[in-house]
C-alpha cells in the first residue's frame, strides 16, 4: 500500500541510492553502492561557483569485496562529486574496513574505523544497506539459508535482526521453536 496522497509541495532535493550484489568469476563477491544527491534548482558553492540544476552535489561509490565467510577482503570508495575539494581525500580511509565480517555488530565495528573525521557521513550511511544487500546476495548464491530443516538446530542467521525475526515473536515460535523465548 503506498503512502497517503501528499499535501501540495515542490520538489527540491533527490537522493538516489543503487545497491547491487555480484558473484565474481573468481568466486568472491562484490557488494556495491552508488549514491547521488541532486537539486531541482541551481545552488552556489561556498567559493561562489554555481552548481547547475541536476548537477550532483554528491556522487559517491563504495564497494566491498567479500569472501565466502562474508569477510571484507577489499574495500574501495570513490567520490566523483562532493561539495568540498577536500572530501575525496577520505576515500582511501575506507580500506580500513578490510578484515571486518558482515554480521551482527558490523556497523559498530565499522564506526570504530571510519567514524567521525576518519570517514564520510554519506559513505557511512551506505554501510547498513551494504550489509543487508550482502545477506540478500549470499541467500541468492545459496550460501545462507533460513530453512529450519537445513539449519538443523543452528542459530538462525537473522535471529533478533528485526521485528519478524524477534526471538519473542510468532514467526520464530512457529518456525524455530528451540530459539523462541516467551516475552518478558
Has residue 64 been placed in a domain?
A: yes
pLDDT digits (tens, 9 = 90+) for 85-112: 999 999 999 999 999 999 989 999 999 9
Looking at the fold, whether 181 and 106 belong to one and the same domain comes out as no
Alpha carbon separation from 73 to 25, 32, 125 (Å, rounded): 16, 14, 20
Has residue 151 been placed in a domain?
A: yes
Has residue 68 been placed in a domain?
A: yes
Overall domain count for the chain: 2
State if pTM tops 0.85.
Answer: yes
Looking at the fold, whether 50 and 119 belong to one and the same domain comes out as yes
Has residue 140 been placed in a domain?
A: yes
Percent of the chain clearing pLDDT 70 (strictly above): 100
Has residue 8 been placed in a domain?
A: no
Give me the mean pLDDT over the 34-61 stretch.
93
pLDDT score recorded for residue 92: 98
pLDDT digits (tens, 9 = 90+) for 53-87: 999 999 999 999 999 999 999 999 999 999 999 99
pLDDT score recorded for residue 100: 98
Amino acid at each position: 500500500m503506498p503512502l497517503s496522497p501528499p499535501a501540495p509541495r515542490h520538489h527540491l532535493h533527490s537522493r538516489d541510492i543503487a545497491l547491487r550484489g555480484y558473484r565474481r568469476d573468481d568466486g568472491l563477491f562484490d557488494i556495491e553502492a552508488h549514491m547521488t544527491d541532486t537539486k531541482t534548482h541551481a545552488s552556489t558553492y561556498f567559493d561562489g561557483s554555481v552548481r547547475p540544476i541536476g548537477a550532483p552535489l554528491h556522487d559517491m561509490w563504495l564497494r566491498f569485496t567479500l569472501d565466502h565467510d562474508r569477510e571484507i577482503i577489499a574495500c574501495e570508495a570513490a567520490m566523483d562529486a562532493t561539495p568540498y575539494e577536500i572530501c575525496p581525500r577520505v576515500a582511501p580511509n575506507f580500506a580500513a574496513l578490510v578484515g571486518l565480517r558482515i554480521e551482527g555488530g558490523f556497523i559498530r565495528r565499522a564506526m570504530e574505523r571510519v567514524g567521525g573525521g576518519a570517514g564520510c557521513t554519506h559513505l557511512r550511511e551506505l554501510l547498513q544497506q551494504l550489509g543487508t544487500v550482502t545477506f540478500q546476495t549470499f541467500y541468492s548464491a545459496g550460501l545462507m539459508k533460513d530453512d529450519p530443516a537445513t539449519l538443523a538446530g543452528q542459530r538462525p542467521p537473522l535471529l533478533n535482526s528485526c521485528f519478524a525475526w524477534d526471538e519473542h515473536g510468532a514467526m520464530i515460535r512457529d518456525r524455530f521453536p528451540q530459539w523462541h523465548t516467551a516475552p518478558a
